[in-house]
Amino acid sequence: MRKKVGTVLEVDVMKEAKVRAARDGRPLADLIQAALIEYLHNDTATVDALRSCERFCSHGRTLPLAVVNELLQEDLLAV
């Protein structure tokens, strides 16, 4: 069962979403629903952030510079 919702989004985000939906040949509502489901069920960013923090903190003050650089290169917010 579907339910109609109302919300306010940035104009640029809506433009990108409409273009993507058209390119994929599906309704905008389906694209938004799929993105929301993915967001709600995929906690990859949090898991990656926790792993990086654990790795960083587990080495005390002797963390090699190469490891620090590797951690700094990770994009924790990428989906």
| Structure confidence by residue, pLDDT tens digits, 21-75 | 999 999 999 999 999 988 888 777 677 777 777 777 776 667 777 877 787 787 7
Looking at the structure of the chain, the number of domains it has is: 2
Residue 2 located in a structural domain: no
Q: Look up the pTM and report it.
A: 0.54
Burial string for 64-75 (b: 16+ CB within 10 Å, else e) reads: eeeeeeeeeeee
Residue 67 located in a structural domain: yes
Residue 19 located in a structural domain: yes
Residue 78 located in a structural domain: no
Residue 1 located in a structural domain: no
Q: Which residue has the higher pLDDT, 8 or 77?
A: 8
| Domain region containing 15 | 11-41
